[in-house]
Amino acid sequence: MNPDLLRRYLSYYQDLGFKTLYRAGQASQPVAQPATPPTCPGAAEALQRIREEIGDCHRCRLSEGRTQIVFGVGNAATRLVFVGEGPGADEDAQGIPFVGRAGQLLTQMIENTARKEGVPLSRQDVYICNVVKCRPPGNRTPEPDEMETCGQFLFQQLEAIRPKAICALGGTAAKALLDRKEGVTRLRGNWYDWRGIPVMVTYHPSYLLRPYNQDAKREAWEDLKKVLHYVYD
């Protein structure tokens, strides 16, 4: 067996034996751990098949104004996936998620927090994708039917990778994964569950770019610390 894959499997079963997560407000009710090891050997091939299935998608109205589909980027064998809302102008132009100002901030958040916490991690080590794969006009919030149409492919991506944890960036990602009505302020900082995979909700980087959100920046840093220590300790 590949040594890296063996280490991942051993780490998974060690975690299964002694780590328990708790839902917000339900400390006595543990969140289920993944039923299968978090890294699937054929994840890269599975992601390629999903992208081929999407094709030149015209399943919803978002296809009408896009430049290109923004599928996802990163390490298919990762233990951590970040899920955002949808592509912006820079992402639509380049075909890569989180490359604009918000994306640059996300990269800084991941790498600076990892360095301060002693975790050897860079952006290329994780996987990043969005709920919707085409840019909404004017960067508006995706409509429920658009989220449902694209959500099937997001779920396939997550099932292909089976990470140890998911970090939901913002309200749209949290709603798509958790189907809850609370806003990010109520949900953030706590562990939830998506099909046996723990989910941490935090603020979207675009929200943190606003100058009056200093408290949110500190809270997002705390959220990311929790994620990194859970996944990589």
pLDDT value of position 34: 34
Q: Rounded mean pLDDT of 180-184?
A: 93
> Quick check: is 70 in a domain?
yes
* Number of compact structural domains in the chain: 1
pLDDT value of position 211: 86
Mean pLDDT of all residues belonging to the chain: 86
At 74 the three-state DSSP class reads strand
Q: Which domain, by its residues, includes 177?
A: 40-232
Reply yes or no on whether the pLDDT at 107 is more than 90: yes
pLDDT (tens digit, 9 = 90+) per residue, 7-28? 443 343 334 333 333 333 333 3
Tell me if the pTM is above 0.85. Answer: no
Q: For residue 193, give the H/E element and its range.
A: strand 191-194
Contacts of 120 (CB under 8 A, 6+ apart): 114
> Quick check: is 72 in a domain?
yes
pLDDT value of position 233: 87
pLDDT value of position 15: 40
For residue 139, what is the domain's CATH number? 3.40.470.10
> Quick check: is 5 in a domain?
no
> Quick check: is 183 in a domain?
yes
DSSP 4-35: HHHHHHHHHHHHHHH--EEETTEEEEEEPPPS
